[in-house]
Amino acid sequence: KKPIVSTHIGAEGTPYVHSESVFIEDQPQAFADRIIELLTNREFAGQMGEKAYQVVQNNFIWEKPIRQLIDLL
């Protein structure tokens, strides 16, 4: 469970929410600042990592759609 810093292109098509489950920064200095923020605030980094993990669990794990498909059958 790791926090994510990405660009808009890297996060395109994902359900991540800026400053909630991921930091989305396109400018090099802002990108670096977010990384430094996460490295210096471990508690906040842990919270962001947990939220990012939940996004993956809720949207990108095969188990959930397979269960939904089985339920339809």
Residue-wise pLDDT for 15-71, tens only, equals 998 988 999 999 999 999 999 999 999 999 999 999 999 998 888 888 777 888 888
Which pLDDT band holds residue 73 (cuts at 50, 70, 90)? Answer: confident
Give the Cα separation of 51 and 60 in Å (integer).
Answer: 14
Question: Residue 45's pLDDT is what?
Answer: 96
Q: What angle do CA 68, 59, 12 make, to 5 degrees?
A: 140
Q: What are phi and psi of 23, to 5 degrees?
A: -100, 130
Question: Residue 63's pLDDT is what?
Answer: 79
Place of tokens 């660009």: 7
Give the Cα separation of 5 and 22 in Å (integer).
Answer: 6
Question: Residue 67's pLDDT is what?
Answer: 82
Give the Cα separation of 35 and 33 in Å (integer).
Answer: 5
